[in-house]
Chain A
Amino acid sequence: MRTSALLFMLGAWTFVIGLVSWAYWRMLRTPRDEGVPPPGSLP
């Protein structure tokens, strides 16, 4: 496999796996009914 193809594949995989991992990690950290305050409500 050529280096350029490998780099594109690894880049694409890293992006989507990173995004999905972060999203589920954040979801597991945040209970369903615990949201951030609405925009503008923080001092």
Chain B
Amino acid sequence: MTDTAAPREQWGSRIGLVLAMAGNAVGLGNFLRFPKQAVENGGGTFMIPYFIAFLLVGIPLIWIEWGVGRYGGQRGHGSMPGMLHVLWKHPVAKYLGVLGLFMPVVVLTYYCYIESWTLAWTVFSATGQTQGLDQAGMQAFFRSYIDLDNGSIHGFFTPFAFFFVTIAVNFWVVSKGISGGIEKLAKYGMPVLFLFATVLVIRVLTLGDQQVMIDGVLTTTNPWQGLDFMYSPDWSKLAEPKVWLAATGQIFFTLSVGMGALQAYASYLTPKDDIALSGLATASTNEAAEVVLGGSLLIPAIVTFFGVAGAMAIAKGGAFDLGFIAMPLVFNQIPGGPLVHTMAGVMWFGLLFVAGITSSVAMATPALSFVEENFGWKRQRTALAFGALALTLGLLHIVYNTRGFLDEWDYWAGTFGLVVLALIETILFVWVLGPERMWAELHEGASIRIPRFYRVIMTWVTPLFLLVMMIWWTVQDAIPTLLMTGETPERMAVRWASRGVMVAILLLQLWLIRAAWNRRRLAGKES
């Protein structure tokens, strides 16, 4: 017996769908991670593997995920367990789909915590709390927020309050549904994001020559030195496999593929809706935000006021140091006085918050759809329950953030797991469904015909690329991470606890899948 297709919500408009999909893809990584990756992996030459990965892995995966989502949605499934089940009629398929529930839930929890920093810094910028601080002061301001043991500047409950507000806003949006909540957020949020980013890029690139003191020497700097630093080619890097993997990894993160969220959004498409062109529009919108806007903000701004060496030194602390320490320092030095400093800070952190929330609401969707469709819960009730769960789990991140709790979740669910799910869904959609049916499915309602050579790429190149990537990541990172090589005993204890919570979430979700299929069987939806 086949699954019955229950009436499902639909997207209100094509532009709303594309903006929501693009909103899912455009996240903190576009503005914080991409420039750092480019600088560390060969500058201009990084763009070569980056665009090759975009064409061979990124775009095919976008089409595959939209295809998987619509195929599952048409058969009454809005999350990966059901989607994989209809692709592969094997009892194991639905359990493989647990990854499409597990990763969004796990990533959402810590992503909302980081998103709450951007909300906090929007408020701090608006109220002038970051003005007048020097580099040491700004560092202390940031560290005391993210490390509860260091509460010298912020009140103990401040991070909890901003996290609570972030979770509440996220789940309020998702409780309003696809068209009334998520689509509306994208329609208002994405133009605001692009407007803020464009204004900031123009302001940064027109800063002109600045006289800044670098290592006690008065030096002339300008934003073009930052662009030069970012795009200067280092041809030797092209021979390094790790650069190719870094580029492919960036494409993965930036397009939000391998997560389960794109598929959940695509499950609300109708057979008449286009996948080929809309998917391409989504991917290219994300690339424009990343390469043109993201690449022209952080590094040029920081190099203008700190020089190349200063930017490198700050970058060693990580992308968050660049975004939350260096950028407010940059804004404090932009000509124009306190009002301009405030506006620049609000726009920068405001755009990060919008980029974050349009991604996090997407991560909430698969689990919500799963519970609604399989257990008959109303959306508001599901959103409330899931919001409470995310809030509870997020508290662990706030308390243990600096002791490796978040790192563990970020690696297994936010990095390694993505390529595993992407490989599984690619094999099932392309090989188990069959290349002919896959191709026909992608062209159902299509506004453009996908070039024929992409069928070969999706059948052979993309799965091979993913397989190589998974093996490489296993050898290079997964085994050392699993063994906690070089970790202190105190952090090891926290990391084991972190793993324990992840395993508990995974087991709970496996049990829910089993319970859901038992219910479906009793209801006659499954044989």
Interface residues of A (CB under 8 A from B): 1-2, 4-9, 11-13, 15-17, 19-20, 23-24, 26-27, 30, 32-36, 38-40
Task: Determine the distance from Cα of A2 to Cα of B232 in the docked complex, in whole angstroms.
Answer: 7
Query: Are A16 and B277 neighbours in the complex by a CB distance under 8 Å?
Result: no
B8 within 8 A of A: no
The binding surface of chain B is classed by DSSP as: helix
Query: Are B449 and A17 neighbours in the complex by a CB distance under 8 Å?
Result: no
B256-272 interface (Cβ within 8 A of A): 272
With contacts A13-B291, A23-B277, A32-B274 known, is A2 near B228, CB below 8 A?
yes
B443 within 8 A of A: yes
Q: Known contacts A12-B291, A35-B445; can you find 8 more A-B pairs with CB under 8 A?
A: A5-B231, A5-B232, A20-B285, A27-B18, A30-B274, A35-B274, A36-B447, A39-B443
With contacts A2-B232, A5-B233, A20-B288 known, is A30 near B447, CB below 8 A?
yes
Shortest beta-carbon distance from A6 to chain B in Å:
7
Task: Determine the distance from Cα of A21 to Cα of B443 in the docked complex, in whole angstroms.
Answer: 22
Task: Determine the distance from Cα of A35 to Cα of B441 in the docked complex, in whole angstroms.
Answer: 13
B440 within 8 A of A: yes
Residue of B with least CB distance to A26: B277
B278-293 interface (Cβ within 8 A of A): 278, 280-281, 284-285, 287-288, 291-292
Query: Are B287 and A27 neighbours in the complex by a CB distance under 8 Å?
Result: no
Query: Are B447 and A16 neighbours in the complex by a CB distance under 8 Å?
Result: no
Query: Are B43 and A16 neighbours in the complex by a CB distance under 8 Å?
Result: no
B210-247 interface (Cβ within 8 A of A): 224-225, 227-228, 230-233
With contacts A11-B47, A23-B284 known, is A4 near B232, CB below 8 A?
yes
Task: Determine the distance from Cα of A20 to Cα of B194 in the docked complex, in whole angstroms.
Answer: 14
Residue of A with least CB distance to B273: A32
Q: Determine the chain B residues whose CB is within 8 A of the CB of A5 once the complex forms.
A: 43-44, 227-228, 230-233
Task: Determine the distance from Cα of A30 to Cα of B440 in the docked complex, in whole angstroms.
Answer: 20
Q: How large is the interface on B (under 10, 10 to 19, 20 to 34, 35 or more residues)?
A: 35 or more
Query: Are B292 and A16 neighbours in the complex by a CB distance under 8 Å?
Result: yes
Task: Determine the distance from Cα of A25 to Cα of B13 in the docked complex, in whole angstroms.
Answer: 16
Shortest beta-carbon distance from B296 to chain A in Å:
9
Q: Determine the chain B residues whose CB is within 8 A of the CB of A16 once the complex forms.
A: 284, 287-288, 291-292
Q: Determine the chain B residues whose CB is within 8 A of the CB of A19 once the complex forms.
A: 280, 284, 287
B446 within 8 A of A: yes
Interface digits, B142-166 against A, CB 8 Å rule (1 contact, 0 not)? 0000000000000000000000000
Query: Are B440 and A39 neighbours in the complex by a CB distance under 8 Å?
Result: yes
Q: Determine the chain B residues whose CB is within 8 A of the CB of A38 once the complex forms.
A: 440, 443-444
A-B contact pairs, 26 of them (CB 8 A): A4-B232, A5-B43, A5-B231, A5-B232, A7-B44, A8-B43, A8-B232, A9-B227, A12-B51, A20-B284, A20-B288, A23-B277, A23-B281, A27-B278, A30-B274, A30-B277, A32-B13, A32-B272, A33-B445, A34-B447, A35-B445, A35-B447, A36-B443, A36-B449, A39-B443, A40-B440
Shortest beta-carbon distance from A9 to chain B in Å:
4
Task: Determine the distance from Cα of A38 to Cα of B448 in the docked complex, in whole angstroms.
Answer: 10
Task: Determine the distance from Cα of A6 to Cα of B225 in the docked complex, in whole angstroms.
Answer: 11
With contacts A4-B233, A9-B44, A27-B278 known, is A32 near B14, CB below 8 A?
yes
Residue of A17, A20, A34, A38 most packed against chain B (CB within 10 A): A20
